[in-house]
Amino acid sequence: MNQKKLFLVWLLALLLFGCTPSGSDIETTISTTETAKSTSTFTLEPTNTLESTSSPESTPTNEPQQTFMDKLYPEYIRLMDYNVNWDSIFPDNDPLNHEWRTANKADAFKRLIRAINPDIVCLQEINPARDPKDVSTIFDKVLPLENSSKWQAVIDKDTLILSRYSLKTDNYRMHTTSNQKLLSQAAALVDLPDDEYKQKDIYLICAHFDAFGGQENIYNRQMQADMIMHQVADLKTPGDNIDLVQGTPYILAGDFNVYDTDPAYHLTTLITGDIVNENLFGEDIQPDWDDTPLTDAKPSHNGRELQYYTWREDGSGFTPGILDRVIYSDSVITARYSIILNTEVLSLKNLLKYELQTDDVMMNGETEYFDHLPIVIDFDLNN
């Protein structure tokens, strides 16, 4: 009888404690609850992905494991690409706020850049009348650099490049003729520390293509893409306006307004080098250093590979689209980590860890009005 009683006690204990949810189950429950807050009809994301750290059951390894938004290696170069929606990153009383400004996301922007902690940044929809220091000052306050260094910034039209490293613009800007000024975009050579990056730098073009449908805007977007490929052809060959050291990585980032409602051939041009207006911008090129096409990073929401749109405006009549792109020379640089940061469906755990709020990527949290979402890419130069 005593043995039978002991067996029954052991069986009861197993039933009581063996079915208790594990820590990972609890985290999954929290993430699912947070995800369910979204009122959109789009597919919800799973929770057992890079947004969470590796599970305890993972095979031990000496290699560091990728966790959500943490840079795997410090020498990776982190790019942030973001259309901020016309001066939303500045306070309401800023006299230079653009006339098309509709939202105040100054505090949310500070939380985003603090969490992302980028090395180089491509922003769009900054008032062209601004001094680029208006933006670099924000970064100096939120992400102060060592040794009293300051963030560097250059602006061209509404596109702005920032860098924690030195920026070279002489002979590196877009070279447009007097009747091509509207085709210009911000461009600069990011001068990386020679001792750390073996004298390798990064050439960055930060672009914002014409918006809206119609033949005129479609034509303008193609002209803008052709102009960029003309610039790439120039930088790859000795002479003319700009020369890069052989093998210098280059990145084309920004809001390219790639709509699914028009042919969007300008994206094909940016990847393959197929120039349409050859009479103005020269013959087709093979844009990468190894004479192959460039690569589209194709990040996904929080790295979960279910949602890929970078722009969304519920009630507009348009479906969410991948308007924003990061395209790069993959023969000399590798994208090791890429996400579209969407705080609306971020787990409570990561919201707390990175001090973010659910509506930080919305233009209006009360009405759940979105616009563009920030893209984050970690590049490895040691190809």
Residues 306 and 351: beta-carbon distance below 8 Å: no
Q: Is residue 27 part of a domain?
A: no
Residue 245 lies in a domain: yes
Taking residues 357-372, what's their average pLDDT? 89
As given in the structure block, the two tokens for residue 39 are 């009122």
Q: What is the DSSP string of 321-381?
A: B--EEEEE-TTT-EEEEEEE--GGG--HHHHHHTT--TTTTSSBTTTTB--B--EEEEEE-
pLDDT tens for 210-236 read 999 999 999 999 999 999 999 999 999
What digits encode the pLDDT tens for the residues 127-175? 999 999 999 999 999 999 999 999 999 999 999 999 999 999 998 998 8
Evaluate if residue 31 carries a pLDDT over 50.
no
Q: Which residues pair with 78 in a beta bridge?
A: 378
> 172 in helix, strand or coil?
coil
Percent of the chain surpassing pLDDT 90:
72
Q: Is residue 149 part of a domain?
A: yes
Query: Is 53 inside a domain boundary?
Result: no
CB within 8 Å of 365: residues ≥ 6 apart: 357, 358, 359
**Per residue in 239-268, pLDDT tens?**
888 889 999 999 999 999 999 988 999 999
The predicted-structure confidence for 88-125, as pLDDT tens digits, reads as follows 999 999 999 999 999 999 999 999 999 999 999 999 99
d(CA 66, CA 103): 34
Domain contains 269:
yes
pTM of the model: 0.84
State the number of CA atoms in the 13 A half-sphere of 220 facing the CB: 17
Q: How many CB atoms lie within 10 A of CB 318?
A: 14
Give the span between the Cα atoms of 170 and 340, in whole angstroms.
Answer: 32
Q: Say which residues have a Cβ less than 8 Å from residue 150's Cβ, sequence separation at least 6.
A: 136, 140
Tell me the average pLDDT of the chain.
Answer: 86
List, for residues 38-70, the tens digit of each pLDDT value.
333 333 333 333 464 333 344 455 678 888 999
Q: Give me 359's structure tokens.
A: 């509506």
Instruction: Note the pLDDT of residue 279.
Output: 96
- CATH number for 132: 3.60.10.10
Q: What is the pLDDT of residue 383?
A: 67
31 in a structural domain: no
Asked if residue 36 belongs to a domain, the reply is no
| pLDDT of 315 | 82
Give the pLDDT band (50/70/90) at residue 316. Answer: confident
What is the total count of domains within the chain?
1
Q: Which domain holds residue 134?
A: 68-380
362 class by beta-carbon count within 10 Å (0-12 exposed, 13-18 middle, 19+ buried): buried
Q: What is the pLDDT of residue 54?
A: 37
Instruction: Confirm whether 193 is domain-assigned.
Output: yes
> What CA–CA distance (Å, rounded) separates 185 from 284?
21
